[in-house]
A and B are shown apart, each in its own frame.
Chain A
Amino acid sequence: MKPESIGALITGRRLACALLLLVVSVSLAANWLAPGGYARQYREAAGAPPSAAHWLGTDDIGRDRFARVLYGTRISLLLAPAAALLSTLMAALVGGLAGYMGGLWARLAMAATDLFLSLPWLFLLITVRAVMPLNVSPMASVLVTFSMLGLLGWTSAARVLCARTRSLRDADFVCQARASGIRGMRLFWIHVMPNLKPALYAQFWISIPVFILSEANLGILGLGVAEPMPSWGSLLKELEGLTSIGEEPWKFVPLILLVVVVTLFQFALSKQEEVAA
């Protein structure tokens, strides 16, 4: 790669990270920017278009859409990385140990991984979501949705990590460490695990937009975060009632924000990390 294009990539990556940081900061300031909160109803202005009082108008039951977008962004942008962290840790545990131990354990772990991977992601999500109670409190629905994403989203990462650990297991420096008496879990934690960091970091980074999109899909299908708690999924559900795009274009703000954020996450991933993934 030419030095100019590397420079452009780094600049683009920095810009993406800065913009992501800006979106997160604005969403964290929701309490100050929208002191009315996400659940307060302005009944005299239900379904109102944008105005000085309500920048993005109000929804059908009079809740301020700008406040809901801010709080929804906060929920999606804080909990999707948390779910990604959970899934990456699980992938490291299952995939890393399977690759390191090899043999029957690796076969069993990879068979379980294949079983999960053979199911379309959305089918798996709605099946597991349906097993859990649907009429839970809004806060519980947030935790259930994102924990489920974290607990089920580790499979493809586990495959990558298993292959990577398998190649590390036979590396010269690991053989040398083994020859000098370091064995078992100590060898795994001291010599193998630190070398898995780039792959783990890439898997974590890749999982975030996947989980954001999955939550949005679940929310639109009515299986995500429960009302009145906002999330990008529940905010996008509003698009269901539209009859034309030009009718109420401000309703597309959550969608535009989501597309921008997911795109920024893709730009923020460097080429090396993409290769490691």
Chain B
Amino acid sequence: MLGWRIARHGLALVAIVLLGGLLSATLVRLAPGFDVDEEQLDPHLSAESVRALRETRQQERNVFSYWLHSMQRAVKGDLGTSLSLGQPVTTLLRDRAPLTLKLVSMGLLFSWAVAMAMALSAAWLRASAYDALTTCLSGTFLCIPAAVLALLSVLWNVPGSLAIGLIVFPRVYRYARNLLAKAYSLPHIITARAKGLGELRILFWHVVPVTGAQLLAVAGVSVSMAVGAAIPVEALCGLPGVGQLAWQAALSRDLPLLMNITILVTLVTLLANSAADVFGHMLRGQDA
């Protein structure tokens, strides 16, 4: 059963990469200005060179052949060359991915620590004033655009990872609070509390088994949120990561680079969601 689930996720990943690649190839091909190359306007180039450039573009006219060609190259580890930076996409990604990985993982750690601390304390205290306070705090952060939080982090010299954490934490808190509030109102947990069981024992023996799978699913989704938050944070804080690269590629309309980054990010978020689903399934299986 577990093997089948993993295989299904693997198949979905392959299908999405192929489909995403085709969609990207179509978008790149249909984007206005695809056939036009600034080099063609260079007066130093001879007529033959211009013709050769046009012929190269002509070969890429068919969406399917363009897609097949890109996929064949991608399998060999060649993701093409960035139009704006003139460097291989693989090199650019290799150089910038570690910083993004560090920022996103630190941000996730921070957001989960704050969100769970707040959600658990709200569930333990059961004081409506405290609940209102934490809800207001998370609600305020939810109403501020991610890019403004990134700008404020520059203003206050706050690390980028903390800014990512502040963007993600209210979303995680909302889910976690609702899940924990529901779990703590279950009859067997109320009975355990009434019998005087310690809070930590109740948490690990009764609450985690009930909410674990759902919290894991939230963890999977929060990876996608953190990766999305990396764009404004890296772009506005001047951090040379994949988010900043995507932003620069968008501003300079470097579509091949942007498409490769998009597919890579999709793969990462899908992997996170699939892992959360598989672990959640294992947890449910153990519980059963």
Question: Which A residues have a C-beta under 8 Å from some C-beta of B?
Answer: 114-115, 118-124, 126-134, 209, 213, 216-217, 220-223, 236, 239-240, 242-245, 255, 258-259, 262-263, 266
- Are A127 and B250 touching (Cβ within 8 A)? yes
Interface residues on B, range: 35 or more
Query: Is B122 on the interface with A (CB-CB < 8 A)?
Result: no
Q: How far is the CA of A213 from the CA of B259 in the complex (A)?
A: 24
- Are B265 and A120 touching (Cβ within 8 A)? yes
Q: Which residues of B contact A115 (CB under 8 A)?
A: 16, 19-20, 23
Query: Which of A123, A222, A236 is the most central at the interface, judged by chain B CB atoms within 10 Å of its CB?
Result: A123
- Shortest Cβ distance from B140 into A: residue: A259
- Are B266 and A216 touching (Cβ within 8 A)? no
Q: Which residues of A contact B266 (CB under 8 A)?
A: 118-119
Q: Which residues of B contact A126 (CB under 8 A)?
A: 231, 246-247, 250, 258
Q: Which residues of B contact A213 (CB under 8 A)?
A: 143, 145-146
- Shortest Cβ distance from A128 into B: residue: B27
Interface string of B253-285 (1 = CB under 8 A from A): 101001101100110011001000000000000
Q: How far is the CA of A133 from the CA of B20 in the complex (A)?
A: 22
Q: How far is the CA of A7 from the CA of B265 in the complex (A)?
A: 46
Q: How far is the CA of A113 from the CA of B265 in the complex (A)?
A: 17
- Are B236 and A220 touching (Cβ within 8 A)? yes
Q: Which residues of A contact B251 (CB under 8 A)?
A: 130, 134, 222-223
Q: Which residues of A contact B28 (CB under 8 A)?
A: 131
Q: How far is the CA of A213 from the CA of B143 in the complex (A)?
A: 8
Q: How far is the CA of A236 from the CA of B155 in the complex (A)?
A: 14
- Are A258 and B145 touching (Cβ within 8 A)? yes
Query: Is B43 on the interface with A (CB-CB < 8 A)?
Result: no
- 6 A-B Cβ contacts within 8 A? A120-B265, A127-B250, A127-B258, A133-B32, A236-B148, A259-B143
- Are B32 and A132 touching (Cβ within 8 A)? yes
Known A115-B16, A127-B258, A266-B139: A221·B232 in contact at CB below 8 Å: yes
**8 smallest beta-carbon distances between A and B, as pairs:** A120-B228, A220-B147, A130-B250, A216-B145, A262-B143, A126-B250, A122-B228, A131-B31
